[in-house]
Amino acid sequence: MKVLFIGAGRWGLALASVLGNNGHEVRLLSRDKAEGEALNASGIHPFFPDFRFPASVKMTSDEAEAAAFSEVAVLSLPVQVSFDYLSSRQSLIKGKKVLLTGKGMVGQRILTEVLSPIIEEKEVAVLSGPSFASEVIKRKPTCVSIGSKEEGLALFFQSLFSSPYFRTYVSADIVGLELCGALKNVYALGAGMIDRAIDSANTRAAYLTRALHEMSRLVLSRGGERSTVYGLSGVGDLFMTCTSSLSRNYQFGYHFNEPGYQTNGVAEGVYTLASLLSSIPNLKDLLPIAFTIGEVVERRLNFQEAIEALMGRKLKKEID
């Protein structure tokens, strides 16, 4: 089968490698002609210099060629730019089966809601779960969830991506999958800060447990399912992203106070956090940990003041 990838970042390339290894023909649409020429000529991309892509995985910068290539499209652009990019290039997705792989929010809206004016709900599925691109590209055993309101579409993408090292499960809970995928990046920012400043098993365990509780609260308030929070895209992705140095968001938090530090790629949690802070008036009560991380990132509190603020909150029942 032919599959178009819109965007050729690390995550898009990793997923493209899965399909290439499955025997599918892939085109990655990218504006970077030099990277495309290098990949097409040698099978090697600068992001993964030690990995050779299957010959069936190619890149193009020709939008007309990309639009005509396939009736299946995988969107791997940053969430914040997806609507503006696609709204003027609807031929890339019109009438196609579309899989969304970005993790983030615009205001209070998840990506399927952001794109709803240009993509019909019945044509959209989302992929979420604990999956670092650098490990997928190395064929490390990985499990993810694929969700859609249309069961047939979820099953289609499940079959397309499933392989001996990339196992896919299906879900109907798009809201839960997308919110979990976005929120875990926010909490990874705080996890990195905690590990750098405290390096305590007690603190780490408490933080992850309460972060999961907050995630559940928002997912349920938006109509998502509790089972999703305790599945791959929830507890699985949260624990992975908050405990691994491979996470750009964790690294951002860990090195937050280092002058001049820059992450190797986009720290999506910073943008999601800004969206939450600007769009949810009661964020301090709804998601106190996320709110406090925002206070630190925007330098209204230092780390010690943030810990004191969270530990000094009004005592309550654990399930509240």
Rounded distance, CA 261 to CA 233, Å? Answer: 29
Which residues touch 215 (CB under 8 Å, ≥6 apart)? Answer: 179, 180, 183, 184, 187, 229, 234, 238
Cα dihedral across residues 178, 180, 184, 186: positive or negative: positive
Which runs of consecutive H residues, i.e. helices, occur in the chain? 10-21, 33-42, 63-69, 79-87, 111-114, 133-136, 151-161, 174-197, 201-221, 226-229, 237-241, 248-254, 268-279, 283-286, 288-297, 303-311
Bridge-based pairing of strands 109-110 and 105-106 is antiparallel
Mark whether 96 is an active-site residue: no
Give the chain's length. 320
The one catalytic residue in 96, 97, 103, 184 is: 184
Instruction: Look up residue 150 and give its two tokens.
Output: 């249309």
Specify whether the CB–CB gap between 103 and 268 falls below 8 A: yes
Please list the active-site residues.
184
